[in-house]
Amino acid sequence: MAQVKLEINGKSVEAPQGATILQAAKSAGIQIPTLCDDDRLEPYGACRMCMVEIQKRGRTRLVASCLYPVEEGLSVQTESEKVQRIRKMIIELLWPAGQKYARQYGVTRSRFSTGMVDCSLCGLCVRYCAEVKKANALYFKGRGIDRKPALVEGSPAPCNGCEECFSLCTGGWVVASRT
């Protein structure tokens, strides 16, 4: 497979064509924070915690590194001032799941009230159930601020005893919903 050369935080990195920026960074030992990424699942980009600043043809913009493919000559900054501001906001918006990175980014509380105290809507539980377990026992119910994960009604209870998604849950919804 063809290799693509790019620069991440000033470091020259090679990655296979088709890889994402997040995958290239991981292989080069460069940490990019994520909440909804799991190697067993397809990239989703729900949490946006992995935002990075790219420069291409003299223009800069923010992209989700878990979704954006590497490109020849791409320049990536994972901790620019703009990226850090965005991550602080994301931590506040995804509170309490974002607390995983709160200390690192100097966030002590959230200014926002989302109504969801224990779910960041990262989709890890829903995606794991569908993609890995092939059970489709969970789905997102509602829209906007009313959106939340829910068990599919009327279906056999394929998740009885499974509980594999518990360890993926960044906010505790899955565990709380079962008790």
Domain boundaries, the chain: 3-105, 124-178
The 10s digit of each residue's pLDDT in 111-121 is: 887 665 677 78
The 10s digit of each residue's pLDDT in 47-86 is: 999 999 999 999 999 999 999 999 999 999 999 999 999 9
Which of 10-14, 37-41, 146-150 is the least confident region? 146-150
**Pick from 72, 49, 71, 52: nearest CA to 60:** 52
Asked if pLDDT for residue 179 goes beyond 50, the answer is no
The CATH number given to 3-105 is 3.10.20.740
**Residue spans of beta strands (DSSP E) within the chain:** 3-8, 11-16, 51-56, 59-64, 75-77, 138-141, 148-151
Q: Which amino acid does the sequence have at 91?
A: I
Q: How, if at all, do strands 138-141 and 3-8 pair? A: unpaired
Asked if pLDDT for residue 155 goes beyond 90, the answer is no
